[in-house]
Amino acid sequence: MTTAPAKAEKSPKAPKPLTPADYLKKILTARVYDVAIETALEPARNLSQRLNNTVLLKREDTQPVFSFKLRGAYNKMAHLSPAQLKNGVICASAGNHAQGVAMSARKLGARAVIVMPTTTPQLKVNAVSALGGEVVLFGDSYTDAYNHSLQLQKKQGLTFVHPFDDPDVIAGQGTIAMEILRQLQSLGSQKLDAVFVAIGGGGLISGVANYIKAVRPEIKVIGVQTEDSDAMLQSIKAKKRVTLADVGLFADGTAVKLVGEETFRVARGLVDDYITVDTDAVCAAIKDVFVDTRSIVEPSGAMAVAAMKQYVATHKTKGETYAAILCGANMNFDRLRFVAERAEVGEEREALFAVTVPEERGSFKKFCGVIAELPGGPRNVTEFSYRINDAAKAHVFVGLTTQAKGESTKIAANFTKQGFKALDLTHDELAKEHIRHMVGGHSSLAKDERLLRFIFPERPGALLKFLTLLRPGWNISLFHYRNQGADYGRILVGIQVPQADDKAFAKFLDTLDYPCIEETLNPVYRLFLQS
């Protein structure tokens, strides 16, 4: 008896890629509202007026964990089997995803292990712990934490909850788009021309793009990345996933070196356009959001607004309607000083210059007069730093408020025309980050120098009053001022006063009547400024 040869076993077919219609079903049936809320879609009235377009803000910053990440994490975990939930879940995250997983686990009664880099701010570590997550600190970067989480997953039989590269996570994030389109009705118009979405690993934009292209394909979906963390854009251009050697950490919520396989596939097929934004533009957008909402979003949360402004400026649009997703508000408090510093420059509301002034009597006052008479109306001096170091000329670092983009070039030209050679530093990173803080040092020309800290009222004419009352024979050898947003200005001034003029100088201080403290004997002054 002969037997027929056994048929070769067929290898299992790879699952077909999910279509927008498939994702539409997953989004419509997603489980997110056990823990997440339907966030508001709010008109940004000030920004709309400035841009001559209707701007709508999707307020994901108001979620219980201050980020959209809760949606995807919970939807993924809600679809796990009872056995998987019993064994527990694990994720690697430095922030928003970690809080989403921890909160979801608490709701579902599951154990959650969260691996975070050792560099994670204590604020975020405490937030995850407060939600019941078991925090494991490992490594210096997300990659280190991710690799360690895979080891723990295998060792402890946990289920890994990916921050973006998972269809259930993507579907959870897609509920944002579902809400946007439904909420348009309550705002009185179905008109929506484009949605701007920040991209890290791509989970958010994949969910949004799938839903919008399935329901309203005419609406543009525009992805946004920072210039130093543009893994998705580089991957799209290369037609394959590209791993970045390094990423910027300012917008840490979107600082991803390699996008997901599924998110890359979706974005490549459905996203209409991509925009990159720089740090200054993001800082300006944080301020824009604050002006309209009185809320502070994190850098990644403001990226969509920054891109929208850039899009309007490039395409000169008017009368269109745009939605920007404010995807998170887990801002490190320590960053606020930097944000405030760079927001004005990012919006080009402040211009910075290096100006050469003749080192002669009255030149300082004359230069202030030129500032007062600049075309375009009065301007506030936001910064002024100077230290005597040359007998013939002085180099002054000065900041001025501006009313429109591109003004700095015109102002620099006006200074030069008036006899004060000027260098425009508005877009100079070295100047903005470092040199502005380093103007000064020892000077052999600062004879008979007295150092005083003044409190000037922040009003027009305060500096002019000071210069007018100052005796002509007394030379200003040092001057430092930076506007800090208070109703008064702290100013450090070095004045060369011969010992014989001590009484006259005391009278000058009394007449001026500005609060001041003399620091001539301060040891710090002697170390760093006095020859």
Could you give the CA distance from residue 436 to residue 431 in angstroms, rounded to a whole number?
6
Q: Is the pLDDT of residue 10 over 80?
A: no
pLDDT score recorded for residue 346: 74
The alpha carbon of 5 is separated from its chain's Cα centroid by a whole number of angstroms, namely: 67
Answer yes or no: do 224 and 120 share one domain.
no
Same-domain status, 154 and 176: no
**Residue 69 DSSP class:** H
Same-domain status, 388 and 520: yes
Q: Does residue 6 sit within a domain?
A: no
Kindly report which listed range (120-134, 283-297, 332-346) carries the lowest average pLDDT score. 332-346
Same-domain check for residues 61 and 75: no
Please indicate, yes or no, whether residues 244 and 144 belong to a single structural domain of this protein: no
In a domain, 500, yes or no: yes
| Overall average pLDDT of the 180-192 stretch | 93
Shared domain for 354 and 494, answered yes or no, is yes
| 115 shares its domain with 263 | no
Averaged pLDDT of the chain: 90
What pLDDT, in 10s, does the model give residues 474-500?
989 999 888 766 667 788 999 999 999
- What are the backbone dihedrals phi and psi of residue 411, each rounded to the nearest 5 degrees, phi first? -65, -45
How far is the CA of 25 from the CAs of 19, 29, 370, 428, in angstroms? 10, 6, 66, 50
Residues 136 and 182 in one domain: no
Tell me the mean pLDDT in the region 358-370: 83
Whether 407 and 487 map to the same domain: the answer is yes
* Owning domain of residue 466: 348-528
pLDDT of 2 higher than 70 = no
Write down which residue in 101, 128, 162 finishes a domain: 162
**Least confident span in 121-130, 144-153, 160-169:** 121-130
Lowest mean pLDDT among 233-237, 252-256, 308-312: 252-256
* Residue 2 domain flag: no
Give me the pLDDT at residue 118, please. Answer: 83
96: domain CATH number?
Answer: 3.40.50.1100
Structural contact between residues 297 and 60, judged by C-beta atoms closer than 8 angstroms: no
Domain count, the chain: 3
- Inside any domain, residue 15: no
Using DSSP, state whether 392 is helix, strand or coil: coil
Give dist(CA 125, CA 137) in Å, integer: 9
**Phi, psi (deg, nearest 5) at residue 294:** 60, 25
Closest CA to 181 of 50, 41, 353, 381: 41
Phi, psi of 472 (to 5 degrees): -55, -30
Same domain, 184 and 272: yes
Cα-Cα end-to-end distance for the chain: 110
What is the predicted pLDDT for the residue at 220?
Answer: 98
Cα–Cα distance, 382 to 234 (Å, whole number): 38
User: Which tens digit of pLDDT belongs to each residue from 379-406?
Assistant: 888 888 888 888 888 888 999 988 877 8
What pLDDT does 359 receive?
A: 82
Quick one: 134 and 172 in the same domain? no
Q: Which residue has the higher pLDDT, 250 or 268?
A: 268
Distance in angstroms (rounded) separating the CA atoms of residues 49 and 52 = 5
In a domain? residue 506: yes
User: Average pLDDT, stretch 32-59?
Assistant: 97
| Whether residue 418 is found in the same domain as residue 521 | yes
Q: What is the CATH number of the domain that holds 486?
A: 3.40.1020.10
Tokens of 498: 């011969």
Domain final position from 162, 194, 228: 162
Higher pLDDT, 222 or 116: 222
